[in-house]
């Protein structure tokens, strides 16, 4: 194997009873093999640090299940190491963890993390911040929250009541928490009429951590962080202040992308959706819907421009038509296999593009006025759409300048306006291609579907 791809093997014993350890300073639960590492010298130094911590009553690492300090033991003949409880009295579930389910293991780890320095500091910051906000009352650290169901209870890190009506549970997230535990907590507080708010010590939206994602994406892409700085801000503003981090959708290179944003916010600025157990500052879900609409508009514009270019070209390439036809079909718009099909929109589109361009398109006429006369004589069902296009593109003056005999203005216009007023069937608009016309010419879409009338 190439040396560049060689990954040193951990010096940890495989299948050790203590497979993970709790870092008491940060509150992180780390795999034993990661902490022990692959460097023998550093492993020996770690042994000393662990023992010194135990001796000074400030353990570096503990068992995450029972929070008993651990030391590093060596299998000298094999050059391997494993963590062992400083006090082995048989009570730790690590000895029999095979009989524990995911829920029990996670609950033990979660309780263990609560003993870390970082976790204690976080709870203190949250509680002190809440006590500076007059909207919150009954602030408690690790109270017992009894549920209505028998033997149903939780012990949130911090609990407070907002504006006298809404109990809020603040849970600190420092390390791995199983999805089941997150879901069960959400369901408990929802059932009990409360609100769950997860709080982080640090959060990086670009860092892929499943537990972090389980909370972040189920909270409308908003995460909240507390620190000594937010505590100072809470004291100064007399309200609970949090650092909110979120991702915001934007359109880049005709595609959706997410950018990270952050802002220090007050709790009163947040949107609360208790039924969905969501608390957020930025409505990422709503913004995403707007971006998706914007992307759809961009895609539509591209297709629309491609169709315009095709129809205005001197030759209608059948391969290009087939591609356009397929894309229109994806939007629920059906057109014939051939662009010039006699039962298709060929003559209607020639009429509308002529009105749009101010010159004959697809017709063997010299001027736009000739197209107008021809449509009146042969395609009366196209008059409504043509009139809308002429008005949308300010072609009235052009038509008048070309109508030298006034036959169009004084005779034919009056005739079709009168026919519309009477509801004459001969002048009734052809609705077969309204969907296509509305897509290609959005400037007339709103009026196209209405009944013809003088405008």
Which residue has tokens 């050059």? 79
Domain-embedded: residue 108? no
Do 211 and 302 lie in a common domain? no
Which residue has tokens 């895609």? 299
Question: In the predicted model, what is the mean pLDDT of residues 160-171?
Answer: 96
Which residue has tokens 């929109």? 345
Higher-confidence position of 238 and 87: 238
CA distances from 428 to 56, 179, 385, 419, 443 (A): 95, 62, 11, 9, 21
Domain-embedded: residue 301? yes
Question: Which structural domain range is residue 36 located in?
Answer: 3-101
Do 23 and 140 lie in a common domain? no
pLDDT band at 96 (very low <50, low <70, confident <90, very high): very low
Q: Given a cut of 90, is residue 56 above it in pLDDT?
A: no
Structure confidence by residue, pLDDT tens digits, 321-361? 999 999 999 989 999 999 999 899 999 999 999 999 999 99
Do 15 and 127 lie in a common domain? no
Nearest to 121 by CA among 157, 69, 162: 157
Do 262 and 365 lie in a common domain? no
Domain-embedded: residue 376? yes
Do 145 and 269 lie in a common domain? yes
**Residue 41's pLDDT is what?**
76
> Which residue, 249, 282, 315, sits at the end of a domain?
282
Domain-embedded: residue 259? yes
Q: How many domains does the chain have?
A: 3
Domain-embedded: residue 109? no
> Which residue, 218, 247, 282, sits at the end of a domain?
282
Kindly give, in sequence order, each residue whose CB lies less than 8 Å from that of residue 351, ignoring residues fewer than 6 positions away.
Answer: 371, 375, 379, 382, 385, 386
Structure confidence by residue, pLDDT tens digits, 384-432? 999 999 999 999 999 999 999 999 999 999 999 999 999 999 999 999 9
Domain-embedded: residue 290? no
Among 10-24, 101-115, 388-402, which stretch is predicted with the lowest mean pLDDT?
101-115
**Residue 284's pLDDT is what?**
93
Do 331 and 413 lie in a common domain? yes
> Which residue, 218, 251, 282, sits at the end of a domain?
282
CATH number of the domain encompassing residue 122: 3.40.1350
Predicted TM-score (pTM) of this structure: 0.58
Domain-embedded: residue 402? yes
Question: In the predicted model, what is the mean pLDDT of residues 20-40?
Answer: 87
Among 134-138, 149-153, 263-267, which stretch is predicted with the lowest mean pLDDT?
149-153
Do 160 and 211 lie in a common domain? yes
DSSP state of 262: E
């Amino acid at each position: 194997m190439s040396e560049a791809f060689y990954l040193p093997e951990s010096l940890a014993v495989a299948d050790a009873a203590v497979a993970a350890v709790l870092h008491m300073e940060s509150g992180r639960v780390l795999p034993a093999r990661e902490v022990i590492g692959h460097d023998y010298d550093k492993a020996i130094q770690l042994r000393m640090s662990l023992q010194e911590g135990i001796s000074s009553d400030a353990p570096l690492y503990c068992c995450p299940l029972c929070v008993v300090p651990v030391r590093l033991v060596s299998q000298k003949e094999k050059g391997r190491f494993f963590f062992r409880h400083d006090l082995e009295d048989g009570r730790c579930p690590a000895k029999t963890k095979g009989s524990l389910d995911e829920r029990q293991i996670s609950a033990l780890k979660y309780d263990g993390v609560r003993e870390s320095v970082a976790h204690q500091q976080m709870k203190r910051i949250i509680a002190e911040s809440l006590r500076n906000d007059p909207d919150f009352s009954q602030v408690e650290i690790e109270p017992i929250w009894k549920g209505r169901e028998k033997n149903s209870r939780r012990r949130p890190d911090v609990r407070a009541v907002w504006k006298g009506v809404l109990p809020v549970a603040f849970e600190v997230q420092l390390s791995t928490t199983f999805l089941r535990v997150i879901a069960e907590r959400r369901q408990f507080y929802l059932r009990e009429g409360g609100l769950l708010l997860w709080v982080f010590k640090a959060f990086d939206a670009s860092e892929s951590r499943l537990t972090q994602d389980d909370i972040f994406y189920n909270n409308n892409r908003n995460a909240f962080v507390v620190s000594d700085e937010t505590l100072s801000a809470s004291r100064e503003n007399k309200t609970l202040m949090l650092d909110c981090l979120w991702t915001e959708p934007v359109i880049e290179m005709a595609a959706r992308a997410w950018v990270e944003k952050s802002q220090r916010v007050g709790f009163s600025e947040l949107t609360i959706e208790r039924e969905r157990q969501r608390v957020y500052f930025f409505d990422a879900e709503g913004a995403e819907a707007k971006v998706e609409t914007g992307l759809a508009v961009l895609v539509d514009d591209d297709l629309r421009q491609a169709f315009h270019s095709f129809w205005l070209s001197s030759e209608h390439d059948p391969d290009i038509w087939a591609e356009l036809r397929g894309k229109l079909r994806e939007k629920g718009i059906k057109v014939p296999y051939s662009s010039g099909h006699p039962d298709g929109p060929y003559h209607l589109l020639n009429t509308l593009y002529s009105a749009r361009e101010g010159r004959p398109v697809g017709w063997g006429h010299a001027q736009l006025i000739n197209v107008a006369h021809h449509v009146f004589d042969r395609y009366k069902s196209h008059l409504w759409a043509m009139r809308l296009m002429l008005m949308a593109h300010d072609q009235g003056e052009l038509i008048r300048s070309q109508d030298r005999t006034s036959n169009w203005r004084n005779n034919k216009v009056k005739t079709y306006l009168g026919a519309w007023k009477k509801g004459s069937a001969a002048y009734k608009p052809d609705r077969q291609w309204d969907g296509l016309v509305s897509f290609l010419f959005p400037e007339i879409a709103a009026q196209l579907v209405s009944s013809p009338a003088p405008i």
